[in-house]
Amino acid sequence: MIKSKIMKKILLAFLIFSFATLWSQKSDQSIIREDTSQFMTKFQNKDYDGILDMTHPAIFEKFDKETLKSLFQKMLEDNEEFQMEIIDTDKITFEISEVMKTKDTKYAFVTHPMKMKMTFKNQKFDDSQKEMMVNMMEVQGMKTKFLNENSLEMSKQSMMIAMNDVSTKNQWKYLNYDETNPLYVSVVPVEIMKKAKSYYADFLIKNKENAN
């Protein structure tokens, strides 16, 4: 039987990658496009400071920046249990919404596919475990396929929220969209949360229609 701690590590790993993915707006939107390219470079170079500099500062009121940095390092470099990487980065396309405004904040949504490979160093999965894993990940909105007994690929349609306000010094900063995450709920204004939920639902419907 698959241990719950393995599931937690997979979900946390995906969250980190997702949390780590996107960034900014010369026409507002064009800056976001430039930042997405810069982000990939920072990620490939393991420039965690650069990634965190693009993250909305409200996050650091909840988590110390050095703690998040060490989490990145532990997941991507100092991990004895598994190895993971984002794959097909050259095929990632980013769709950027119009820029919207509340009284105090400019914001936009950035949707994109996320695909990653995870290889367990000390864990092998039999057929029943593979099936269980695939089903469990599907509940989390992730498509999963095993490459062999210890490696799998996972993909998901993800979304980031770009925000520009006084707290960001009028620069674009980013948060991963995840309405089930208490941290996200505590940081994002209610008006933006409502818009994000509707926009993401429409995005998923559009993708499903295009896939059929």
pLDDT digits (tens, 9 = 90+) for 7-48: 666 666 655 555 544 443 358 888 887 877 677 677 767 888
Predicted confidence at residue 205, as pLDDT, reads 87
Q: According to the 3-state scheme, what is the secondary structure of 80-137?
A: CCEEEEECCHHHCCCEECCCEECCCCEEEEEEEEEEEEEEECCCCCCHHHHHHHHHHH
Spans of the chain below 70 pLDDT: 1-26, 37, 40, 44, 78, 89-90, 211-212
Q: What is the rounded distance in angstroms from the CA atom of residue 110 to the CA atom of residue 94?
A: 6
Q: Is 160 helix (H, G, I), strand (E, B) or coil?
A: strand
Predicted confidence at residue 10, as pLDDT, reads 63
* Residue 170: count of CB within 10 angstroms of its CB: 9
Where do the H-state alpha helices sit in the chain? Answer: 4-19, 29-44, 48-53, 65-76, 127-139, 182-187, 190-211
Q: Model-level pTM greater than 0.75?
A: yes
Predicted confidence at residue 26, as pLDDT, reads 54
Predicted confidence at residue 76, as pLDDT, reads 75
Predicted confidence at residue 73, as pLDDT, reads 82
Question: In this structure, what DSSP letter does residue 144 have?
Answer: E
Q: Is 50 helix (H, G, I), strand (E, B) or coil?
A: helix
Q: What is the rounded distance in angstroms from the CA atom of residue 11 to the CA atom of residue 200?
A: 19
Which amino acid type is present at position 29? Q
Q: Which residues have a Cβ under 8 Å from the Cβ of 6 and sit 6 or more positions away?
A: 120, 123
Predicted confidence at residue 169, as pLDDT, reads 93
Predicted confidence at residue 168, as pLDDT, reads 93
